[in-house]
Amino acid sequence: MLLAQSFHPVMLGAVLAGQTGAWLAALLSGVLASAAFWAVTASLRTLPGGDLMSLARFTLGRPGAIGTSLLVAGVLVYHSGFVVRQTAEMAVSAVYPLTPQTFAVVALLACVLGGAYAGMNALVRLCRAFFPFLLLAILFIVLGVFGWGEVRNLLPLWGPGPGPLLVRSVMLLALYTPGLFLLMTAGQVQDPEGLWRAAAMAGIGSGTVYALALAMLIMTYTYPLANSVAFPLHEMARLILGGRFFQRVEGLWVLIWVWATVCHVGVVLHVAAAAIADAFEMDTHRIAVPPLTAMVLTLAYFPVDQAQAVDWHTAAAPFGLLAGFAVPLLLSLIAMWQRRRKKRAA
pLDDT, position 223: 84
- Which carries the bigger pLDDT value, residue 174 or residue 341? 341
- Complete domains list, the chain, with CATH: 2-316 (1.20.1740.10)
Give the lowest-confidence range in 88-92, 187-191, 341-345. 187-191
User: With 60 as the cut, is the pLDDT of residue 67 above it?
Assistant: yes
Percentage with pLDDT > 70 across the chain: 86
pLDDT, position 5: 47
Q: Helix, strand or coil for residue 329?
A: helix
Max Cα–Cα distance, the chain, nearest Å: 78
7 vs 115: CA distance, rounded Å: 21
Q: How confident is the model at residue 2 (pLDDT cuts 50, 70, 90)?
A: very low
Angle at 275 between CA 273 and CA 280, to 5 degrees: 95
Contact partners, residue 317, CB within 8 Å, separation at least 6: 13, 171, 174
If we measure between CA atoms, which residue out of 38, 39, 41, 46 comes closest to residue 338? 46
264 vs 84: CA distance, rounded Å: 10
DSSP string, 222-272: -TTGGGG-SSHHHHHHHT-B-STTSB-THHHHHHHHHHHHHHHHHHHHHHH
Q: How confident is the model at residue 102 (pLDDT cuts 50, 70, 90)?
A: confident
Mean pLDDT of 194-215: 79
61 vs 343: CA distance, rounded Å: 20
Q: How confident is the model at residue 209 (pLDDT cuts 50, 70, 90)?
A: confident
CB atoms within 10 A of CB 153: 17
pLDDT, position 4: 41
Mean pLDDT of 87-107: 82
Dihedral class, residue 341 (left if φ above 0, else alpha if ψ from -120 to 50, else beta): alpha
pLDDT, position 291: 94
Q: How confident is the model at residue 6 (pLDDT cuts 50, 70, 90)?
A: very low
Mean pLDDT of 128-143: 83
Torsion over CA of 135, 140, 142 and 148, rounded to 10 degrees?
A: -170
Contact partners, residue 16, CB within 8 Å, separation at least 6: 227
Q: 272-300: per-residue pLDDT in tens?
A: 998 898 888 888 889 999 999 999 999 99
- Which carries the bigger pLDDT value, residue 73 or residue 322? 73
Mean pLDDT of 333-346: 80
Count how many Cα atoms sit within 13 Å of the Cα of residue 186 in the half-sphere of its side chain. Answer: 30
User: With 80 as the cut, is the pLDDT of residue 244 above it?
Assistant: no
Task: Measure CA of the first residue to CA of the last residue in the chain; give whole Å.
Answer: 44
Q: 12-51: per-residue pLDDT in tens?
A: 677 777 888 888 888 888 888 888 777 777 767 666 666 7
User: What length is written for the chain?
Assistant: 346
pLDDT, position 288: 92
For the whole model, what pTM was predicted? Answer: 0.84
pLDDT, position 9: 56
pLDDT, position 287: 92
Percentage with pLDDT > 90 across the chain: 7
- Which carries the bigger pLDDT value, residue 262 or residue 90? 262
With b meaning 16 or more CB within 10 Å and e meaning fewer, what string describes 279-315?
Answer: beeeeebbebbeebbebbbebbeebeebeebbebbbe
330 vs 151: CA distance, rounded Å: 42
Phi, psi of 249 (to 5 degrees): -85, 5
User: With 70 as the cut, is the pLDDT of residue 194 above it?
Assistant: no
Tell me if 89 sits within 8 A of 81, measured CB to CB. no
If we measure between CA atoms, which residue out of 295, 284, 289, 297 comes closest to residue 272? 289
Mean pLDDT of 124-140: 83
